Amino acid sequence: MCKNYDVIIEKDADGFYIATVPEIPGCHTQAKSLDLLMKRTKEVVELCLEVQKDDVPANQFIGIQKIAVMV
């Protein structure tokens, strides 16, 4: 069975790409390139699902919204 997951990708101050899978709590990884990041992301999703089994909550990623805050 194949299931699709949304992945949020960010880049930190040191140039590393960080991937987070919001539907699976604690599921994230990092890499120096986008190609390696996507490979690692697939691996970490498989590992998280294997460890969590049926304990994965049924959260659904909706989207990202920007807000303005005075600082």
Q: What are the residue ranges spanned by the domains of the chain?
A: 1-71
Quickly tell me which residue has 């049926």 as its tokens: 54
pLDDT at res. 1: 79
Q: How far apart are the first and last CA of the chain?
A: 47
How many angstroms separate the Cα of 59 from the Cα of each of 5, 7, 29? Answer: 11, 13, 19
Query: Which CATH code of 2.40.128.120, 3.30.160.250, 3.40.50.620, 3.40.1190.20 fits the domain covering 1-71?
Result: 3.30.160.250
What are the pLDDT digits (tens) for 37-51?
Answer: 999 999 999 999 888
Model pLDDT, residue 61:
81
pLDDT tens, 4-47?
Answer: 999 999 999 999 999 999 988 889 999 999 999 999 999 999 99
Q: What is the per-residue pLDDT for 63? A: 85
